[in-house]
């Protein structure tokens, strides 16, 4: 099957998606290994998930750089030091500029808590509830200089229940994020993804069953 792909993960907070990804790797479901976890915040709780496994961590403090370009350059150098095959933005709450995105083009992916192209940007759950949608979810996509519009690798939908508030909806979407990100990273590490323009193709995929159910209260 070849050597395990090297993965760098960027986080900003608690690192829930990182922890789920590490558990999937530990269980042998992904033929890859996380070589470093990076954050722009020294107090990002998710760094502990890496440290307890002996994975290298790096903080590139955004406040230490006078401009966004300077920060992006420093972050890009820190990521590139490990020559990763894949860079995963797992709750990384910074918009990256074109230079760093192009530096890792085709090998940088992001998990976004909405069914893109609906609700790009922030406060996705709040906006979905305000609009009264019946389905919400998450998207994994390749990162491009334009925010939240890169080629979609996969999406997962969850029902919006009449009793939902922002917290309960966010929790349901987060469970879907964990599963979807694992799938996307596994496919990448197995060299099953190909990209042509905005279209991502999953090689050797079985047809998915089609089903739809009415959200229940």
Return the active site residues.
Answer: 112
Question: CB of 56 within 8 A of CB of 84?
Answer: no
End-to-end CA distance of the chain: 46
Beta bridge partners of 202: 193
DSSP class of 10: E
Residues 6+ apart with CB under 8 A from 70: none
- Whole-angstrom CA distances from 123 to 10, 20, 40, 112, 128 are 20, 22, 20, 11, 9
Q: Tokens 């990100």 — which residue?
A: 181
Say if CB 30 and CB 4 are below 8 A apart.
Answer: no
């Amino acid at each position: 099957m070849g050597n395990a792909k090297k993965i760098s993960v960027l986080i900003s907070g608690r690192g829930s998606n990182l922890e789920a990804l590490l558990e999937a790797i530990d269980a042998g479901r992904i033929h890859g290994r996380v070589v470093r976890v990076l954050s722009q915040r020294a107090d990002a709780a998710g760094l502990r998930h890496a440290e307890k496994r002996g994975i290298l961590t790096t903080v590139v403090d955004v406040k230490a750089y006078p401009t966004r370009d300077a920060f992006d350059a420093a972050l890009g150098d820190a990521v590139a030091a490990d020559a990763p095959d894949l860079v995963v933005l797992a709750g990384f709450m910074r918009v990256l500029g074109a230079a760093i995105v192009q530096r890792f083009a085709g090998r940088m992916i992001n998990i976004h808590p909405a069914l893109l192209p609906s609700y790009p940007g922030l406060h996705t759950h709040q906006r979905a509830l305000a609009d009264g949608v019946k389905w919400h979810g998450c998207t994994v996509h390749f990162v491009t200089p334009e925010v939240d519009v890169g080629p979609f690798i996969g999406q997962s939908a969850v029902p919006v229940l009449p009793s939902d508030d922002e917290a309960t909806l966010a929790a349901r979407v987060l469970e879907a994020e964990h599963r979807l990100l694992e799938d996307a990273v596994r496919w990448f590490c197995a060299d099953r993804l190909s990209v042509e323009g905005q279209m991502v193709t999953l090689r050797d995929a079985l047809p998915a069953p089609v089903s739809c159910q009415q959200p229940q209260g």
